[in-house]
Structure 1
């Protein structure tokens, strides 16, 4: 008879725990009224609207919304409903599946709390500060309202604990990018990168997913004391790939290999016959190497060091000494310069003799009358 009366009256029978659907007909400050087909409108208290704290009921729902709800309590003149319980059950099932599969998902940051961020995923999800980014974040206020890609890292339904991580997603993306870059790199390639950090032994350059090392010896054709003399952090540079060790994820790079060498176009910088200043860099048994331009050394053969006979170059020269040399020959292909100090000495002697001769001509006195053909050997 009761069932017939319900059918005639159009009223539905409800029990605690039932899942029902209804339309929001009125929103008050602390509750929402919903038509679920019962003899009175159902009440959804503000505490049952969301897993997160809600200031006003209108922040969570709007009039006319269709809601799926769980019956919490039924009396003749009152039926209490919960949206939060339905959302939580659904969310737990969804999260358990995502946790098992490792699936990522998007969620909006609803609140910034001490120690991290809170998101609404049908229930309260927490992102600890250490799991937000791969780097240290001082102020999280800018994250409020921001959508993050997340991964479930800890789930405990009994403790109502949901721990999420954005950092894990970023690390996976970086790992995938690193793998792709490693596979694409080949020895001899010239690519663009960004100087990431400087060390005593060189500079690390980010190639878009992985860092490669430019050893200090590969920064410049010239001698480099410290990396900061050549590059700075954040600088875009072109580098040549010297080697790729995929197993150990090590990449050796060269900056100097992408730049013109000190010997490039040397014939237009140094000419046979001209006099240059240089620094003695090395003494060897057969002569001395003199640097005449940054990174460009020429050989002064032992026979070209002095007018007098010497047994070893260190009888006349020492490393670091500044000297004048005359260019005898330039060979760009072989990267070879032949230099002479002796010829400059002979040139100086010739000039002195010529000066004497001029002065003698003016005075009517001939030096050659006194020393004869001894001058000839200096004129040859």
Structure 2
């Protein structure tokens, strides 16, 4: 049996008591330190918000950066602040915040990718495209990879770097499992137009063929392919190419109608070309095609034929524009007959109609509502592709 001396019965409780006191004292000191750090973080946060509210954003950023240094979990606050500055157009301040985050080595990979993505958007907003590209290319795998690629695709279109745009769109197709074929076909068409401007017709033909290989019977590629035939002095082949639009996509025929008539004229078949366009008036008697047919009918067949055509259209597909053309031909007939009184009466009504229709005739973007006098493949307002209907708004229809 173990024997314990009597003095240990007194010493042991004292030792346990001292240990308990020391432990509690250490815990109390730690709590006081944590409390002081928390007060410091709260003070910096409130100081930053107060400076922000008092229109001192530079000092606010310094205060909030101090919060991040004290507590890495506040990075979301900085992302929100950076986005706020970018939306307000204060891109320099947004860049400063996101550069600070990108430069931190203790951030999680996801947060670093997020910061690189936001920094790329800042540079893109500021027009610093080279730096935007470098930052967006730093974004690794994860939730911000696709948004970064989308931003790069947007940037390449702004720069008109169509080759890089094709690469980015193909990468997005693989990553996002989304179809970008229509856009890629347009990018090849842009390359073809660039080649035509520098008179590199071989490169233009290759780009057009790539576009058609990407999207079979791509309408824009067909229009450019016919134009290449015309530039090569082969109007018959151009007509054959454009006949595909006439047959399968007649609503886009106005895009090549002028060149169509030139091609037929070069072959001595302008009346044949006009007749084929007039046949489309049963379904397409609006927009630019109506303008082109009327103008060529007036030139090739005379005023009476033009007036008769417009009268027929008013019976089958009436509109303010068709009415204007009909009245214009009647005014010309009155002038030819030297009927000054009738000519003056018609001219007064004609001027009023022209004023009315000139403000109504527009193409309208189905995505952002941007209105334009000419047809665009890519909307100048929102940069989306294929958002303009080929049918130009003619204003108020008279069919009801």
TM-score range, shorter chain: under 0.3
Larger radius of gyration: 1
Of structures 1 and 2, the one scoring higher in RCO (CA 8 A, sep 6+) is 1
TM-score between the two structures when normalised by the length of structure 2: 0.24
Higher strand share: 1
TM-score between the two structures when normalised by the length of structure 1: 0.25
Higher helix share: 2
